Chains A and B, each alone.
Chain A
Amino acid sequence: NAGVTQTPKFQVLKTGQSMTLQCAQDMNHEYMSWYRQDPGMGLRLIHYSVGAGITDQGEVPNGYNVSRSTTEDFPLRLLSAAPSQTSVYFCASSRESNSPLHFGNGTRLTVT
């Protein structure tokens, strides 16, 4: 199994541009989530999904959209990037609600 795969690994955007961060998992996990990691802030939950067709907001959802059309994929969309969204983004999945998260290797995003 590849586990949790995130693409791209690095991305530079200009303010106002849009893009989608991709996340796929091949472990048939129901639960998927997106976190952002900023220096001195730890990891903060952006959005999560408890199954295909179901998504919900986390701690810092503003400026981000998600969808979950399949069990495997959970893309994160930035509709109009802002410098405050410069961060490292991690996708994670877990088998059930009471199973620990498995993380991807992250996407480092810079917004200029």
Chain B
Amino acid sequence: GQQLNQSPQSMFIQEGEDVSMNCTSSSIFNTWLWYKQDPGEGPVLLIALYKAGELTSNGRLTAQFGITRKDSFLNISASIPSDVGIYFCAGSDSGGGADGLTFGKGTHLIIQP
């Protein structure tokens, strides 16, 4: 099946620092999604990308759909304590709906005040 490599696996940063994480795939995706998961809750959609080369922002978050369609990155600027959590990338052959998202293994973000 399709494989997603998400890195880094974990990040320990100081409050106020910028964060960058990325995902690479062995195959092409038509949609890239970024989710955040807080403890005890389900993943929540942050950003959806539908077009190669697309750069999309959501507040302090910016994500890009790689030109090759095999990669995506997520940046968080000026991190704050509530950014703590697990960030997942996910790729889809379609729009990311129920017929199958392939998820990365997640990046644990830990922020030291």
CB pair B96–A31 under 8 Å, yes or no, is no
Given A42-B106, A43-B88, A43-B103, residue A101 in contact with residue B1 (CB < 8 A): no
CB pair A104–B98 under 8 Å, yes or no, is no
Q: What is the bound-complex CA distance between A85 and B64, given in angstroms?
A: 35
CB pair B105–A103 under 8 Å, yes or no, is no
Interface pick from B37-45, B67-75, B76-84: B37-45
For the residues of B in contact with A, the DSSP-based class is loop
Interface pick from A14-22, A76-84, A90-98: A90-98
CB pair A97–B98 under 8 Å, yes or no, is yes
Chain B interface bracket (under 10, 10 to 19, 20 to 34, 35 or more): 20 to 34
Given A43-B43, A104-B42, residue A92 in contact with residue B98 (CB < 8 A): yes
CB pair A102–B100 under 8 Å, yes or no, is no
Which residues on B sit within 8 Å (CB–CB) of A104? 42
Q: What is the bound-complex CA distance between A101 and B106, given in angstroms?
A: 17
Q: What is the bound-complex CA distance between A42 and B1, given in angstroms?
A: 14
Scan A45-86; emit 1 where CB is below 8 A from any B CB, else 0.
100111000001011000000000000000000000000000
Which residues on B sit within 8 Å (CB–CB) of A98? 31, 94-97
CB pair A99–B103 under 8 Å, yes or no, is no
B21 an interface residue at 8 Å Cβ cutoff?
no
* Partner of B41 from A94, A102, A106 at Cβ < 8 Å: A106
CB pair B99–A41 under 8 Å, yes or no, is no
CB pair B42–A99 under 8 Å, yes or no, is no
